[in-house]
Structure 1
Amino acid sequence: MRLINQFSFLANITRSHLIARRYFVVNGFDGALAMLGLLMGFHVSNQTDLITVINVCLGAAVALGMSGITSAYISEAAEKQQELKNLEEAMLSNLSQSAHGRAARIMPMVVAATNGLTPFIIAIIIMLPLMIARWIPGLIENPLEIATLLAFILIFLLGVFLGRISGHLWLWSGIKTLFVALITTLIIYLLRPL
């Protein structure tokens, strides 16, 4: 419990919990939309070989995760170090061993993990019907369609979450993100090779 309280304190003094929450929604949305795009690409090309679909989606999920972790860590570590330096200059003191110093070292890792793991986990959730169909043949009849539906559901739920955070009508927020997913699907369908 003490560790959780310390972590919460460090997150609050740097306001990193707000950054992590924003990254959770933004990169969760990116991960779900990227998977939806891949699934629609396979659908319009009539590619239904599960091994190919799973490998391509898994490759994209890993790339999204690694990109999220590294980009967020580099940028957040630089920001937190700059904030710490500014605070040290204002206080004329070395704060490396203070709570602010600990936060400058720890919180970029937390934000980076949130930024990278969110799209990866969401992508894996969307891929579950594909993987189950591969592991247990015959259990799921249309895994590509079910995975696509799951992507739409997760995109809607991320919109709902965003609406709850912002204090807006959650249903309307969910519908807006779902609309983006539908427009994306329509564009992919219209751009398919003739």
Structure 2
Amino acid sequence: MSKLFKSFFRKIRLYLKVTRASGIARRYFVMNGFDGAMTAFGIILGSWIAGVSNPTVIVLAGLGACLAMGLSGFFGAYMAERAERERHLKELEKATHNHVDPIQYEASRFVEFYVALIDGLSPTLTAIISIIPFILVSAGWMSIGDAYIVSMILALITLFLLGIYLGKISKENGWLYGIAMLIVGAFTALIIFFIQIFLGA
């Protein structure tokens, strides 16, 4: 079994190396993970300001956003990546007079799905993290007030960790990237707060 897993992951690394898709996957993960975290943060913050006390409303809104982002991300990325890979393969066929290494075809097919999966899962996962406290409220394990606090903290932690990851990718100071992400979150909170005041006025 271990040999099977090693062979599987070795093949994945080969496919990513052949297609040079690692960077693309990382960008999709960060960009869409950021979108998911910010969307959930916006839903939760807006619900808190509006005084929503029914956790089911927040859970359904959050899960609906997760589902929409996940599906649109997956299918959009799959179609875009497939078109790009097809173009690349045709260029290779033309340049090599149809003597393209079969690994190129295998790698392209794998990467189309792999990148789409990253694109679809990253916003879903980062958004769900912030919704978990409200699921606990529905189960009777947490109060709604505590859920708001915990979920917003989780959203900010998620943003901070995405910033740390960005810093690691760029080989720069991850803390600065993390703080920058937190500033974006705080800025978003201010915008939502002022919109609520304006609409409530």
TM-score range, shorter chain: over 0.9
The separation in 2 between residues aligned to 1:134 and 1:15, in whole angstroms, is: 45
Match of 1:108? Answer: 112
Are 1:22 and 2:27 counterparts? Answer: yes
Residue 139 (structure 1) shift: 6.5
Q: Is 1:188 the counterpart of 2:192 in the alignment?
A: yes
Match of 1:81 in 2: 86
> 1: CA distance between counterparts of 2:142 and 2:163?
33
Per-residue CA distance 1:54-91 (angstroms, 9 max, x = gap): 00111001101011101100100000111111011100
Cα pair 1:132 1:140 within 8 Å, conserved: no
Instruction: Give how far 1:137 is off.
Output: 3.8
Match of 1:142 in 2: 146
Unaligned 5+ residue runs, structure 1? Answer: none
Q: Following the alignment from structure 1 to structure 2, what is the Cα–Cα distance between the partners of residues 70 and 87? A: 25
- Percent of counterpart pairs with the same letter? 34
Q: How many residues align?
A: 193
- Distance of 2:106 and 2:80 partners within structure 1: 17
Give the letter aligned to residue 120 of structure 1. Answer: T
- Aligned mates of 1:71, 1:57 — CA distance in 2: 21
Contact 1:48 1:144 in 2 (8 A): no
Instruction: For 1:160 and 1:77, locate their aligned partners in 2 and report how far apart those are by CA, in whole Å.
Output: 31
1:120 to partner: Cα distance: 0.6
Deviation at 1:138, TM superposition (A): 4.2
Aligned to 2:178: 174
1:133 corresponds to: 137
Q: Which amino acid in structure 2 is aligned with residue 122 of structure 1? A: T
Q: Could you tell me how far apart the structure 2 residues matched to 1:43 and 1:28 are?
A: 22
List 4+ stretches of structure 1 deviating above 4 A.
Answer: 138-141
Which whole-Å deviations, capped at 9, do the CAs of 1:91-122 have from their partners, x for residues lacking one?
00154x70101112110100000000011111
Q: Show CA shifts across 1:105-146 (max 9, x none).
A: 110100000000011111111111111121134467511221
In structure 2, the gaps of 5 or more residues are: 1-5
After superposition, the CA RMSD in angstroms is 1.4
Partner of 1:67: 72
Residues 33-52 of structure 1 correspond to what in structure 2 (within 5 A)?
Answer: 33-52=38-57
TM-score (norm 1): 0.95
Secondary structure at the counterpart of residue 142 of structure 1: helix
Query: Which residue of the partner structure matches residue 103 of structure 2?
Result: 99
Does the residue aligned with 1:191 lie in a helix, a strand or coil? Answer: helix
